[in-house]
Amino acid sequence: MNLREAILKAITDRPLDKVEISKVLRLPPQNRTKLRDLLRQMEVDGDVARIRKDRYVIPRDADLFTGTIQFHASGAAHVLNEKAGQPDLYVSGENTFVALHGDRVVARVNRPRPGAARGETPGRLEGVVIRILERGNATIVGTLQRSRNFFYVAADDPRFVHNLYVPAPKPPIAAREGDKVVALLDSWPSRHVNPEGHIVEVLGRTGAPGVDMLSIIRKHHLPAGFPPEVQKEAEAISPIIDEREAARREDLRGRFIFTIDPDDARDFDDAIDVERTANGWRVGVHIADVSHYVRPRNALDREAYSRGNSVYLADRVIPMLPEALSNGICSLRPDEDRLTFSVFAEIDRRGKILSARFARTIIRSKVRLTYRQAFAHLQKPAHDDLTRKLHTAWELSSLLRKNRFAHGSLDLDFPEVKVWLDDQGRPERLEKVENDISHQLIEELMLLANELVARELKRHRQATVYRVHEMPDEDRLLEYRETALANGFRIGDLSKRDELQKLLRLVRGRPQEYAIKLGLLKSLKRARYAPDPLGHYGLNKADYAHFTSPIRRYADLVVHRSLERVLGLTKKGPDSSVLASVSEHISNTERVAAEAEKESVKLKKLEYFQMQVAKGNGEAFKARIMEVRNFGIFVELPDFLISGLVHVSSLDGDFYMLDVPRGRLVGRKTKKVFQVGDTVEVIVARVDTYKQQIDFKIV
């Protein structure tokens, strides 16, 4: 029995402190330091928990819960359960102690109880944070401000609601009031007093070009440049493909292969070709062979693992791999030979997969298309080779898409807003990017390749990293159902997939579509990486992995190495003993990247509307009423995917009252009505960049 197991056995019957554990296990004095360090690690891991008088217990026996806390904008939080399929722990704002977003904490679980009196979901697991085990992030990014007696930092993150008191700035940290700064948390003994800290970096004046994005980079601890040894290793890779390597591969340079990517993309990691056959289609999906250049445990690999993925901020890309690879030798640029890993499939007229195979290949892309260009080709008759190829590919992709939804996949596609910036990094225009047929064409072929690779790895029981999306909690879906009913959608039990699909069909094209789909997404579990093939609930696929984007995702690089092992191209695949920790790490880096990307776009949207106010041009925007409250109307601008409040005091010419049963505001004299679903025109009244909120006024 090892020491960890012995400790767990010793505290099974009763709580023990360090000295008592040492006596029970008869440890010699020289091993007590090792015991102390191991107990500390076991506490962080959640295997044991400390109670009164520093005694250790097994958490489940004392109604204790260990995990990472994630805050919401409301101030409430969830402590994430690390056991697959088990519910997270809800913590109300007043019970979060002095935890910060991302901290590892211990919480005491309140016994589940009927929550009807408080409007809670019956049986929801709730708790109170009692100890901080490990700070996930002890730095605060915000604006330096001053009261009569104190300097303090007002945090950018709305989830950190307290002002951080700091000493008066002095050299070498020459911060001024109004500067954007990074501060380190020093002391915070109680939630009822303000935390204290000190400034460690000045980022620049609030509102100066580039400072907003630099703030996001510091807030999320995103990397800046690459270490010298990584850059050196990348630059040492020859941009010319070795002829002996090319000879070992299946040569596809004679095929009509092409790429479709966003307008401003520079890292092209996937290419396709689709041909008609007598029975259906023959498809090839060709992915940049990053694993040929990035070898396990070299400097490039260690840095790629550390980053986990590329991060796409509004004004820049923070790549997973140096530019020599990401935009150079690995990028499938047209008219250049490139090494690839290919998935080939034969598919019949009904969309059934007849056969699949995998090979290392060499390609030469004929054309680089943007989504906009591909869409234009798909809208016109097929009179040339490229347009014919695109039409053939769409015939297959549209059939695969139809079959996917028929088999239970959930339609959770969302439009996005692209922010176009000028040379100073200021937003010039906002462009809504729809998930049109050019996007769907590529999406379906990538889904196909990912599923076929996952199926092959699972069949061979090859250790790898899968993309998993677990079954949702029924309580969360029950709670969400009330929201859907309140919006007028008559649906049944949402734990049944056909009812979820029915709801998604009902909201299609309706004013509430974006809000309802977003609410549903939040009610489902978050997709993550795992070493076990747990399936993908949203796609309704038993086997799924990420294979198609190895330039920007470390998970795909792991999957490539696993497939190499299955095909006998290498003797050793990924180490199965570390894949659980790898999965957890890259799931976390993905979450951080998504938050940073979302925040960067929102800040640029706010800046765009702030500029509208400054210009005083009073441009009117189309808006939909999403919610009506006694203090005002929440509206969404569908062309920009941003929401804001029309305060009731700004509604001129009448006094408006809330009609609660019908969810609408009614003018006392004019009887004018504002209700959910109405379309109105609004102008921007005020932008609060600190709270990240916009107030509108109805024209």
* CA 228 to chain CA mean position, Å: 29
Q: Is the dihedral of CA 120, 121, 122, 126 positive or negative?
A: negative
pLDDT digit string, tens, across residues 359-389? 999 999 999 999 999 999 999 998 899 999 9
Question: Is there a cis peptide before residue 415, judged by omega within 30 degrees of 0?
Answer: no
Phi, psi at residue 658, to the nearest 5°? -85, 120
What the block records as the tokens of 20 is 């008592």
pLDDT digit string, tens, across residues 634-689? 999 999 999 999 999 999 889 999 988 777 899 999 999 998 888 999 999 999 88
User: What does the pLDDT average to over 297-312?
Assistant: 97
Helices (H), 328-473: 371-378, 385-406, 437-459
Residue 677 burial class via C-beta count within 10 angstroms: exposed 0-12, middle 13-18, buried 19 and up: middle
Distance CA 473, CA 380 (A): 46
| Fold classification of 139-206 (topology level) | OB fold (Dihydrolipoamide Acetyltransferase, E2P) (2.40.50)
What the block records as the tokens of 529 is 């990486």
pLDDT band at residue 235 using 50, 70 and 90 as cut-offs: very high
Domains 3-60 and 618-698 in one fold: no
Q: Is the dihedral of CA 125, 126, 132, 136 positive or negative?
A: positive
Average per-residue pLDDT for the chain:
91
| Fold classification of 63-134 (topology level) | OB fold (Dihydrolipoamide Acetyltransferase, E2P) (2.40.50)
Q: Is the pLDDT of residue 117 over 50?
A: no
Q: Is the pLDDT of residue 120 over 50?
A: no
All structural domains of the chain with their residue ranges: 3-60, 63-134, 139-206, 228-471+525-601, 474-523, 618-698
Q: What is the DSSP letter of 285?
A: E
Q: What's the pLDDT score for residue 112?
A: 58
Distances (CA, A) of 43 to 48, 100, 133, 272, 588: 5, 18, 8, 49, 20
Distance CA 18, CA 43 (A): 13
Q: What's the pLDDT score for residue 84?
A: 58
CATH class of 3-60: mainly alpha
Residue pair 414/517 in contact (Cβ under 8 Å)? The answer is yes
b (16+ CB within 10 A) / e for 293-332: bbebeebbbebbbebbbbbbbbbebbbbbbbbbbbbbbbb
Distance CA 151, CA 170 (A): 12
pLDDT digit string, tens, across residues 329-349? 999 999 999 999 999 999 999
Mode of pairing for the β-strands spanning 258-261 and 367-370:
parallel
User: What does the pLDDT average to over 32-46?
Assistant: 86
Give the position of tokens 């989504």.
Answer: 371
pLDDT digit string, tens, across residues 124-178? 789 999 889 889 888 999 999 999 889 999 999 888 878 999 999 998 898 999 9
Cβ count near 244 (within 10 Å)? 7
Q: What's the pLDDT score for residue 414?
A: 84
Q: What's the pLDDT score for residue 129?
A: 93
Q: What is the DSSP letter of 53?
A: G
Percentages helix, strand, coil for the chain (3-state, rounded to 5) are: 35, 30, 40
What the block records as the tokens of 419 is 């922010």
Which of 426, 371, 348 has the alpha carbon at shortest distance from 604?
426
**One CATH from 2.40.50.140, 3.30.70.790, 3.50.50.60, 3.30.910.20 for 618-698:** 2.40.50.140
What the block records as the tokens of 388 is 């014919």
pLDDT > 70: what percent of the chain?
97
User: What does the pLDDT average to over 513-540?
Assistant: 92
Which of 686, 698, 699 has the alpha carbon at shortest distance from 628?
698
Which of 541, 544, 529 has the alpha carbon at shortest distance from 454?
544
The pTM is what? 0.88
Q: What's the pLDDT score for residue 123?
A: 54
b (16+ CB within 10 A) / e for 481-503: beebeebebeeeebbeeebbbbb
Distance CA 570, CA 561 (A): 8
